[in-house]
Amino acid sequence: MKKFDLNIEKVLEDWEAYHAIREVIANALDEQAITNTKDIEISQDQNGWWHIRDFGRGLKYEHLTQNENEEKLLDPHLIGKFGVGLKDALATFDRKGVKVNIKSRHGDISFGKSQKHEFEDIITLHAYISEAVDVNLEGTEFILEECSKGDIDKAKNLFLKFSGERIIDTTQYGQILEKMGQVSKIYINGVLAAEEEDFLFSFNITSITKAIKKALNRERTNVGRAAYSDRIKAILLASKEKEVAKKLVEDLKEYETGKMHDEVKWTDVSVQAVKQLNESEKVIFFTPNELTNAPEIVDKAKDDGYKIVAVPDNVKEKISGQTDISGNPIMDVAQFQKDYNDSFKFKFVEIKDLDSKERFIFAKTSEILDFIGGKPNIVKEIKISETMRP
């Protein structure tokens, strides 16, 4: 048996056992993704010990060195990046009294406290490496003793894979998820990074920006909205899924009530929702000020069968004169007035078809025009129409 000093200098005091379990699961999921092997397994044996297993290449004691993993750094879709998460997890397990054994075809590893080489007065956490009991074992198996089901469940709940959240749409920047419960979850490559109370959807960001990389510290916590908001906007704007558009559109209608979710408060996303709504329904968009100051236009629009939708001034500025996703003009007040004026159609009546009373009135045309100084020069002819609008 060989003894290997883990040389753990900084311990993450805020970590609980489930944070450490998260790192083990994350490493297993990354190995599954890299090797394209079958799903990882998480199970409890008859002794109450928990087993977390992948079916990849098998862990070696060299993986316990505190170096960034080049393989993971080169793949933007993997969970792990730092190459130190496993050591953080082992230190946390030791602090929380969880016994760990690791098995692979490369060797079996257990952990305990021992004297530091040439510094017998310093006691540190060591790995004890022995020959593999099963040299044909596929992948890596972590065995956790004195670990509660509650901590296992908490750790699993940090992963999209185990959350049960339905994927509505997948774009080149990430996925839009159906929100479960009152709180939206923000995942980064499938691992929970933040929660949002006022979002309409949950999201899984799979295309990582520099801001997100900078925000992803060793603890994987406290990732603020400023780091990921641009990516979420990009996901929404890239989505062509009708279900997403419908939910955004319905949320936009809540502008007047103040119950809109935060995604729709982003102007670009609101404009996208307007374009979707304009294409799918007979609507007209007013600002609150227009609703107050132009009641006659509101009434005309309602009479013509339009649904009235209030939008903020900044959205109105963006949609004015624009077209929707099908190339149709977006119906705002100016467009409605133009269409209204263009819609006048005439069905002319010949003088000979008038009855006697109508001919009598029409014969008064010259007298009537005299009240305004005679017929204007621009008027070439005066006719009678049965209709003014369709």
Q: Round to whole Å and give the CA distance between 251 and 243.
A: 12
pLDDT at 16 over 90: yes
SS3 state at 159: strand
- Given CA atoms 256, 257, 261, 262 in this order, what sign does their dihedral have? positive
Last residue of a domain, one of 117, 141, 158: 158
- The partner residues of 297 in beta bridges, in order of sequence, read none
CB atoms within 10 A of CB 20: 28
Same-domain pairing of 144 and 30? yes
pLDDT number for residue 344: 80
Q: At which residue do the structure tokens 């083990």 appear?
A: 24
pLDDT at 105 over 80: yes
pLDDT number for residue 218: 60
Q: Round to whole Å and give the CA distance between 39 and 247.
A: 33
**Edge-first strand listing for the sheet containing 107-116:** 2-5, 119-130, 107-116, 99-104, 140-145, 50-53, 41-44
pLDDT at 82 over 70: no
Q: Is residue 98 part of a domain?
A: yes
Q: Give me the amino acid identity at 58.
A: G
Q: Please report how many Cα atoms fall inside a 13 Å half-sphere around the Cα of residue 187, on the Cβ side.
A: 27
Q: Is residue 340 part of a domain?
A: no
State the CATH number of the domain containing residue 108.
3.30.565
Residue 290 binned pLDDT confidence (cut-offs 50, 70, 90): very high
Same-domain pairing of 263 and 288? yes
pLDDT at 236 over 50: yes
pLDDT at 243 over 50: yes
Same-domain pairing of 154 and 19? yes
Same-domain pairing of 172 and 154? no
> Contact, 348 vs 342, CB < 8 A?
no
- Tens digit of each residue's pLDDT (9 = 90 or more) over 265-274: 999 999 988 9
Between 364 and 68, the more confident residue is 364
Counting residues of the chain whose pLDDT is more than 90, the rounded percentage is 65
Q: Round to whole Å and give the CA distance between 214 and 123.
A: 34
pLDDT at 24 over 60: yes
SS3 state at 344: coil
Domain that holds residue 308: 242-330
User: What's the token pair of residue 277?
Assistant: 């709504």
Q: Please report how many Cα atoms fall inside a 13 Å half-sphere around the Cα of residue 273, on the Cβ side.
A: 31
pLDDT at 66 over 70: no
Q: Please report how many Cα atoms fall inside a 13 Å half-sphere around the Cα of residue 79, on the Cβ side.
A: 26
pLDDT number for residue 387: 82
Residue 179 binned pLDDT confidence (cut-offs 50, 70, 90): very high
pLDDT at 62 over 70: yes
Same-domain pairing of 105 and 11? yes
Helix (H) or strand (E) segment spanning residue 370: helix 365-370
Q: Is residue 197 part of a domain?
A: yes
pLDDT at 46 over 80: yes
Same-domain pairing of 27 and 147? yes
Supply the DSSP symbol for 181.
S
Same-domain pairing of 358 and 316? no
Residue ranges of E strands in the chain: 2-5, 41-44, 50-53, 99-104, 107-116, 119-130, 140-145, 167-170, 174-177, 184-188, 191-196, 202-205, 283-286, 307-310, 348-349, 384-385
Q: Round to whole Å and give the CA distance between 83 and 73.
A: 9
pLDDT at 146 over 80: yes
Same-domain pairing of 149 and 231? no
- The lowest-confidence range among 66-80, 288-302, 335-349 is 66-80
> If you average pLDDT over residues 98-107, what whole number do you get?
96
pLDDT number for residue 9: 65
pLDDT at 75 over 80: no
Q: Is residue 19 part of a domain?
A: yes
Last residue of a domain, one of 125, 158, 191: 158
- The lowest-confidence range among 189-193, 217-221, 266-270, 325-329 is 217-221
Between 68 and 319, the more confident residue is 319
Same-domain pairing of 190 and 116? no
Same-domain pairing of 12 and 113? yes
Q: Is residue 337 part of a domain?
A: no
* Domain total of the chain: 4
DSSP 56-111: SS---GGGGSS---HHHHH-TT-S--SS-HHHHHHHHHHHHT-EEEEEETTEEEEE
pLDDT number for residue 219: 58
Q: Is residue 343 part of a domain?
A: no
Residue 28 binned pLDDT confidence (cut-offs 50, 70, 90): very high
Residue 150 binned pLDDT confidence (cut-offs 50, 70, 90): very high
pLDDT at 10 over 70: no
User: What's the token pair of residue 185?
Assistant: 């979850």
Q: Is residue 314 part of a domain?
A: yes
**How high is the mean pLDDT of the chain?**
89
Q: Is residue 366 part of a domain?
A: yes
Same-domain pairing of 230 and 307? no
Q: Round to whole Å and give the CA distance between 207 and 76.
A: 7
Q: Round to whole Å and give the CA distance between 62 and 270.
A: 51
pLDDT at 301 over 80: yes
pLDDT at 31 over 70: yes
Same-domain pairing of 125 and 257? no
Last residue of a domain, one of 238, 257, 284: 238
User: What's the token pair of residue 247?
Assistant: 């939910």
- Tens digit of each residue's pLDDT (9 = 90 or more) over 353-386: 999 999 999 999 999 999 999 999 999 999 999 8
Angle at 150 between CA 145 and CA 153, to 5 degrees: 100
CB atoms within 10 A of CB 211: 16
Q: At which residue do the structure tokens 């077209």 appear?
A: 323
Residue 143 φ then ψ, to 5°: -115, 120
Q: At which residue do the structure tokens 């149709």 appear?
A: 328
Please give the span between the terminal C-alpha atoms of the chain, in angstroms, as a whole number: 93
